[in-house]
Amino acid sequence: MTDLFLSMKNISKRYTGVKALDRVDFEIARGEIHCLVGENGSGKSTLIKIISGVVKPDSGARIEVEGDVILHHHSIDSILKGIEVIYQDLSLFPNLTVAENISLSQTIASRSKIINWRRVREISEKAMARIGVHIPLDEQIDNLSIADQQLVAICRALTSEVKLLILDEPTSALTRKEVESLFTVIKDLQAKGIATLFISHKLDEVLQIAEKVTILRDGKKIETLPSRGLTDEKLTFLMTGEKMEYSRYTIDNRHEEPLLEARQLSIQGNFRDISFKLYPGDILGITGLLGSGRTELAEALFGMNPFESGDLFIEGRKISIKSVQEAIRLGIGYVPENRLVQGLVMNQSVAKNIIITTITRLLNKFKLIDPEKRQRSITRWIKNLSIRIPAFDAPVHTLSGGNQQRVVLAKWIATSPKVLILDGPTVGIDVAAKSSIHDIIRDLAGRGMGIIIISDEVPEVFHNCNRIMVMHKGRIIAEFDSTVTTEEEIQNCINMAS
């Protein structure tokens, strides 16, 4: 086969406690669009890191790029071979400008030791023009939204003579529309002979774009298949080895007193006249496009960005929430959207991260942490959320992305709040884990908790919520009862608004 770009044989990687990859063979042809799927912790990111040279495979591995055997030691080796990676965490420089971030690979690759600022701008402008985006060149990265940051990362990858573009979960922070334009870019690149390898948990997207799909399970390669003829169910089955059942969530609770009631909540420029009631046992879905004000609403309810007008009642009592501490005291929990930035102490152990919010409940009569209670609490959460960890004391950053997300969830669920707000609870989580997280959410609701799920994914809110509100431009434009609506109806409502 002459048109093979990358060929990897016998790739294994052992970390203390886990075998992240186990004798995997893998190849990509020139200009191919290839997808890598698998459950959280199945080794996808690790495989990519080996391709890029950030992680060294165990001995016995053989990697060829365009027929040359390469000894990967540094990421610069693979960059020079035309392999560009956009990592799950984007790996941008938050303190530098858009232009510098985009042109950086070029700067490093160039032989000159001097920076030419005019060229920096030219390179960035050219890269942005290539995919038709406009982001202010002098803006600092940490002032951008995640979606824009992602575009910057893509532009950066396009500045060099790229032959293989690797994207680790590129779509998890993008709206549907942005995903479509990303796919157009990928197709464009393909026309230029550039191959793309990408990881995603959204199987419908995988089937839409990929020509070939490789499935990993527990570090082993299950199969590489052409995507034609594959279905969601088949893929899920290959990934997990089991069949998924979807059921709906319904509950009859209107006779009770509402846990939370909002009347005409507003914040200038964020959202307006938001009114709703949340009953015990409710799972209320809030959907709508990114930027519809749903995250801002959640932050207001959690005291991060207090609302300016309107009234809020908890169990019939009128309250005002001015700070996060107050919100927590009133029994409100919030799992933020951006799992990597907020909520985790990355170099502390999984165990410590989980118990951080509930530490006062684990004290013994001397006000010291009771080791037995601590152990029980940790084991329980790790088991309940089936968090896959190398060891109890492994630092969080050694976990796969999806497993980190579960730790965040565990941390907040462990506080057993009255009202739990989950913003994108399953972004970046594999299908099997998704359903286990949904089960946990239902179980919590069943015990009288009121839950608000904010999500892009209509199927997610449709299947798991008994009521669904659609937000657009800061207002609630529609409300559905899930027993009398359909997925299509909700989707149409969103599409019509935009």
Partner 1 sequence: MKNLFKHHETYVLLVIIVFSAIITTINPNFLTLENFFDLAKSYSFIGILAVGVTIVLISGGIDISFTAVATVGEYVMAVMVIKYGGNMFTAVLLVAVVGIALGMINAVLIYFFNIPTIITTIATLNIYYGILIVISGGKWIYALPDWFRNFADIRLFTLRTAQGLEYGLSIITATWFAIIIIAWIILRYTKLGRGIYAMGGSMNAARRAGFNIFGIQMFVYSFMGLMAGIAGLVQALLVQTVAPNSIVGKELDVIAAVVLGGASLAGGSGTLFGTILGVTLIAIMGNGLTLMRVSSFWYDVFIGLVIIISVGFSAYQRREKVKRTILVEGE
Task: Give the separation between CA 485 and CA 463, rounded to whole angstroms.
Answer: 11
For residues 216 and 260, which CB has a smaller minimum distance to ligand ATP in the complex? 216
One residue of 45, 160, 236, 358 binding ligand ATP per CB under 6 A: 45
305 binds partner 1 (CB under 8 A): yes
Question: Using CB distances below 5 to 8 A depending on partner kind, what does residue 390 bind out of partner 1, Mg ion, ligand ATP, none?
Answer: ligand ATP
Q: Tell me if 96 contacts partner 1 by CB under 8 A.
A: yes
| Binding flag, residue 345, partner 1 (CB under 8 A) | no
Residue 244 has a CB neighbour count (10 Å cut-off) of 13
Site string for Mg ion, 222-241 (x = CB under 5 A): --------------------
Should residue 18 be labelled a site residue for ligand ATP when binding is judged by CB under 6 A? yes
Q: How far is it, in rounded angstroms, from Cα 214 to Cα 222? A: 8
Bridge partners, 263 (sequence order): 311
Residue 114 binds which entry of partner 1, ligand ATP, Mg ion, none, CB below 5-8 Å type-dependent: partner 1
Q: Decide: is 46 part of the binding site for ligand ATP (CB under 6 A).
A: yes
Closest CA to 173 of 206, 136, 139, 145: 145
Does 236 bind ligand ATP (CB under 6 A)? Our answer is: no
Secondary element (H or E) of residue 265: strand 260-267
Contact string 245-274 vs partner 1 (x = CB under 8 A): ----------------------x-xxx---
Q: 169 vs 296, which CB is nearer to Mg ion? A: 169
Distance of closest approach, residue 463 Cβ to partner 1, in angstroms: 28
Site string for ligand ATP, 47-86 (x = CB under 6 A): ----------------------------------------
Question: In angstroms, what CA-CA distances link 431 with 81, 225, 246?
Answer: 34, 19, 11
CB of 473 to partner 1, least distance (A): 8
As a whole number of angstroms, the distance between CA 74 and CA 194 comes to 22
Q: Which residues contact 45 (CB under 8 A, 6 or more apart)?
A: 87, 88, 168, 199, 400, 401
Considering only 62, 73, 108, 308, the residue that binds partner 1 (CB under 8 A) is 108
- Of 91 and 208, the one with the shorter C-beta distance to partner 1 is 91
Of 55, 150, 145, the closest CA to residue 101 belongs to 150
Residue 54 binding partner per list partner 1, Mg ion, ligand ATP, none, with a CB distance cut-off of 5 to 8 Å that depends on partner kind? partner 1
Reported as half-sphere exposure (CB side, CA atoms, 13 A), residue 259 has a value of: 22
- The reply to whether 41 sits near ligand ATP by the rule CB under 6 A is yes
Interface residue with ligand ATP among 236, 292, 398, 482 (CB under 6 A) is 398
Answer yes or no whether residue 240 interacts with ligand ATP by CB under 6 A. no
Can you tell me the distance from the alpha carbon of 6 to that of 197, in angstroms, rounded to the nearest whole number?
11
Give the end-to-end CA distance of the chain in Å, rounded to a whole number: 47
Stretch that binds ligand ATP, among 4-12, 34-42, 262-270, 292-300 (CB under 6 A): 34-42
Q: What are phi and psi of 381, to 5 degrees?
A: -70, -40
Residue that has been written with the tokens 């899920």 in this structure? 236
Reading the block at residue 129, the tokens are: 């023009």
For the chain, what is the radius of gyration of the CA atoms?
24
Interface pick for ligand ATP out of 42, 97, 292, 358 (rule CB under 6 A): 42
Q: Between 15 and 237, whose beta carbon lies closer to ligand ATP? A: 15
From partner 1, Mg ion, ligand ATP, none, interface partner of 299 (C-beta below 5 to 8 A by class):
partner 1
Paired strand residues for 309 = 266
- Give the residue, chosen from 9, 29, 75, 340, that forms a contact with partner 1 under the rule CB under 8 A: 75
- C-alpha 498/C-alpha 495 separation (Å) is 5
Binding to ligand ATP by CB under 6 A, coded x per residue (else -) over 407-436, reads -----------------------x------
- Say whether residue 293 binds partner 1 (CB under 8 A): yes
Beta bridge partners of 84: 165
The CB-nearest residue to ligand ATP is 402
Which CB sits closer to ligand ATP, 42 or 295? 42
- Tell me how far apart the alpha carbons of residues 278 and 194 are, in angstroms, rounded to a whole number: 50
Cite the DSSP H helix spans in 197-293. Answer: 203-209, 232-240
Site stretch for ligand ATP (CB under 6 A), options 13-21, 188-196, 256-264, 273-281? 13-21
- Sequence-distant (≥ 6) Cβ neighbours of residue 445 within 8 angstroms: 249, 251, 281, 282, 283, 451
Go through 113-133 and write b for each residue having 16 or more CB atoms within 10 A of its CB, e for each that does not: eeeeeeebbebbbebbebbeb
d(CA 373, CA 312): 36
Residue ranges that bind ligand ATP, judged by CB under 6 A: 15, 18, 20, 38, 40-46, 388, 390, 398-403, 430
Residue ranges that bind partner 1, judged by CB under 8 A: 52, 54, 74-76, 79, 85, 87, 89, 91-96, 100, 104-105, 107-110, 112-115, 143, 145, 267, 269-271, 290-291, 293, 295-296, 299, 305, 473-474
